[in-house]
Amino acid sequence: MPGISERRQGEFSCTGSLYSRLRFKRSNRMQRLFSYYRFHKRVGKGNWNRYVERYTVPRSIENTQRITFNYRASFQAAKSSASYLWEFPKRIAAATSADGVLDAWIHFRHKRKKAYHFVLALKRLSEAKNVDTSDWRFQLIAKKLLKRSKYFIDLPGICHYLGSLRAVPILDKLSIVLSENIDRYSPPQLAQIAGAFGSCRLSSKHLFSLIARRLENNIQHASNGELATVAMAFGRCAIYNYRLLASISQEVQKRFSPALHVMNSHRDLVSAPSRHCLFSLQQEVTVHAQRPSLADLLQLVSKYRDSQICDIVSQMVRRNMSSLTATDVANPDVHRRIVKAFCSLKINDIPLFLSILDNIASRPYNYTPACVAEIGKHLSLVLPRDADRVSKVELKTSKIQRSQAFGVCLEEVKRHLHRMGRRELCDAAVFAFKACSSIAAKSDFMSEVSTMVVRQCPSNVKYDAPKLMEVLSMHSSLDQECFNLICRDIYRLVDMFEPVDFQRTSRVLRKLKQSGLSNLKMVNMLSKRVAAQWEEFSEYQYHCVARDLTLAGPPFQSLLMDIWNRNKSVYALSVS
C-alpha cells in the first residue's frame, strides 16, 4: 500500500496483529476483569445510536435456584470442605488471648458460621478480657451477628457476653430485636438482658419498660439473684421504675415469711408422683421459693433504698456477728459492702456501724488493711470522732486493754501503708483526717501517706485524686514531687470529674499557689474543661471554680474570657 508507514503496514499484517494482541494482553493483565458484562460493546467507546441489546433476562426461578452439581465430591474433598466445623472450635479453645480468637475467626472468615460459633467466640473473648471492640476483626463478627440476630434462640445469652465486653454500639442495635421478642423471654433471660445493659450503663427506656412489664407478671418465678440483678441494672442506667422496685421489695420480703418455707417442706415430703395426690394437682405458686441470702440483699440494697430490706440486712449481720465464736471468721468484704451501701444511701444505722467497728477493733487480723481503710473512711463521716464515748472494746491482748476503736483501726492501717495502692492510700488519708483527734499524729500519718504516694509505680488505678490532694495540702504534707504525681493522675481522671471535683481541685490549686506550688498547665486544662461543661454547674459552683482558677493561674487570656463570659452568678455581678 503506497503512502502507509511500515508500522501501519505491520498492524495490518498477520504477525503485526498477533504482536499487538499479545502486547494488549500483557499490558492489561493487572486490569480488573468482570465476571459478568451485560453489553457486547465497551461503554464509552463507539457509537450507540443503532445499538441493539442482546441480553435476555433469565427466569426468576432459574436465577434464584442454588447450583446443584450432578456429581459427588470425593471423601477427601468433602472432608476438607467441612473441616472448619471442628477445626474452628479447636482454634477458639486453644486461643489464650483476644488476638488468638479474632485471628481464628479471620482464618475461617469465608466459611458460613453456625450459631454456636458466635457463642463460642464471644464466650472465649469475655474470658480472655482486654478486647478492643473497635478492632476491625471484632467489627466483622458484630456485623455478621447483627444480620443473624433474629435467628438466635438465646439472644439474651449473646447480650450477656457483649455486656461483659462493653460492646455498646452492638447492644444498642440489638435492643430493637430484643424489644420485638420480649414476650418470649423467661425471668433468667430478662435478668441477663438487664445485666448486660447495666454493666455498660446503656439506658434504653423503651426496652427497660418492656422488661419491667414482663417481669412484674412473672416475678414469682424469678430467683433472688435475678431480682437483685434487675434492680442493680435499673440503678446503673438511672431508670426510675418505682413500681417494679416496690414489687421486687415486696417479693423479697414475702420470701422471708415462715409460711412459705413450711409449704415447701410439705411439698418435699410428698414428692412421689401420684395421680391422686393433691399436691401434684396444685399449681406451682413459685419456682425459686428460697430465703434470700445476704449477698442477694446486698446487691438489692446497693442501688435501691428500702428501709425494710435494710432492717433485714442489719438484723442478719448483727445476728451473725453475735453468734461468732473464737474460731469463726466474719467475711470482711460483706461488712465493707454493707457500710459502703448504707453510707451512700444515707442510712445511719448506728448500732450496726458500732458492732462492725467493735468487731474490727477486737479482731483486726481478720480484715485486710484496704478493707479497714475503706470502712473507716465511711464510718468516720457518721460516727463521732471520740468513739471512746460511744463504744469501748475489750481487747484480749495484754498490751492494750481499753482503747478507742478508731485508734486501733488507724494503727492497723498505719502498719500496712507500704502495701497499699493509691486508692487505699486515699481512703486511709480521709479516714485519718476525719477520725484522728491528735494534730501531731495526723500530720505524721499524712507525711507517711505522701511518702508512699511518691514510692508508688505509675498505674491506671481510679481513685479520688482531688480529695487526696486536698487532705494532704491541709496538713502541709504535699511536696513538689507528690504534687506533680497527683496532677498527672488528675490529667488521666479528668474525664470522670463531676462539678464538685472541679470545685475541689480549683480550690486546692488556689491555696497551694500561696505556698509556692503551682501548675499552669493544669489550670489551663481545667479552664478548658470547665468552659466546655459549664451547663453541669450550678451558678454558685461555676462562680467559685472560675474565681479559684483565675487566682490559681491565671489561665490564658482566651480561656479566661471564655470562663468569665459564661458566669451568670449574682456574685460575679456584685463583684463587677
Q: Residues with Cβ < 8 Å from 152, sequence gap 6 or more? A: 115, 118, 158
**Whats the size of the chain, residue-wise?**
576
Question: For residue 281, is pLDDT > 60?
Answer: no
* pLDDT of the residue at 505: 94
**What pLDDT does 4 receive?**
41
Question: pLDDT tens digits, residue range 351-400?
Answer: 899 889 888 888 888 899 999 999 999 998 888 765 444 444 443 433 33
CA 88 to chain CA centroid, nearest Å: 30
Give me the pLDDT at residue 278, please. Answer: 36
Closest CA to 474 of 423, 417, 436, 521: 436
Cite the residue boundaries of each domain of the chain with CATH code 1.25.40: 81-240
* Model pLDDT for residues 49-80, shown as the tens digit of each residue: 888 877 776 667 766 667 666 678 899 999 99
- Say if residues 504 and 510 touch (Cβ distance below 8 Å): no
**The C-alpha cell that represents 236 in the structure block:** 446503673
Q: Is the pLDDT assigned to residue 48 strictly greater than 90? A: no
The band of 177, judged by pLDDT with boundaries at 50, 70 and 90, is very high
The three-point CA angle 346-348-349 to 5° equals 135
- The average pLDDT across 272-284 equals 40
pLDDT in tens, 296-341: 888 888 777 888 888 888 888 888 888 877 667 778 888 999 999 9
Helices (H), 237-306: 242-254, 258-269, 278-281, 294-301
Q: What are phi and psi of 392, to 5 degrees?
A: -110, 140
pLDDT tens, position by position, 229-276: 999 999 999 898 999 999 998 998 888 876 544 444 444 444 444 444
Average pLDDT of the chain, as a whole number: 82
C-alpha cell at 339: 457500710
The pairs formed by 543-551 with CB atoms below 8 angstroms and a separation of 24 or more are 543/567, 543/569, 543/571, 543/572, 544/503, 544/506, 544/507, 545/499, 545/502, 545/503, 545/506, 546/572, 548/503, 548/506, 548/507, 548/509, 548/510, 549/506, 549/509, 549/510, 549/523, 551/510, 551/513
The predicted model gives 403-429 an average pLDDT of: 87
DSSP labels, 414-440: HHTGGG--HHHHHHHHHHHHHH---HH
* CATH domain 81-240 topology: 1.25.40
Residue 145 has pLDDT above 50, yes or no: yes
- Specify whether the backbone of 29 is left (phi greater than 0), alpha (psi in -120 to 50) or beta: alpha
Torsional class of 107: left (φ above 0), alpha (ψ -120 to 50), beta (otherwise)? alpha
> Which range (119-123, 163-167, 288-292) has the least confidence?
288-292
- Integer-rounded Cα radius of gyration of the chain: 35
Judge contact between 133 and 143, C-beta under 8 A: no
pLDDT value for 257: 72
In this prediction, residue 291 carries a pLDDT of 81
pLDDT tens column, 458-478 = 788 899 999 999 999 998 888
Lowest mean pLDDT segment, chosen from 95-104, 112-121, 516-525: 516-525
pLDDT value at residue 36: 54
Choice among 291-300, 412-421, 463-472, 541-550 with the minimum mean pLDDT: 291-300
Residue reference for cell 476525719: 434
- The DSSP call for residue 68 is -
pLDDT digits (tens, 9 = 90+) for 203-223: 999 999 999 999 999 999 999
Residues paired with 402 in a beta bridge? 394
Q: Please check the confidence at residue 188 and state whether its pLDDT lies above 90.
A: yes
DSSP code of residue 270? T
Residue 216: closest CA among 249, 239, 179, 181: 249
| pLDDT above 80: residue 422 | yes
CB 445 within 8 A of CB 414: yes
CB atoms within 10 A of CB 131: 20
Q: What is the pLDDT of residue 567?
A: 84
**pLDDT at site 58:** 66
Q: Confirm if 362 and 395 have CB atoms less than 8 A apart.
A: yes
The CA angle 159-165-166, to the nearest 5 degrees, is 85
Q: Are 87 and 123 in contact (CB under 8 A)?
A: no
> φ and ψ at 371, to 5 degrees?
-65, -40
Given a cut of 70, whether residue 279 has pLDDT beyond it is no
Average pLDDT, stretch 162-179?
Answer: 95
Provide the CB-side half-sphere exposure for 516 (13 A, CA).
4
Where is pLDDT greater, at 265 or 173?
A: 173
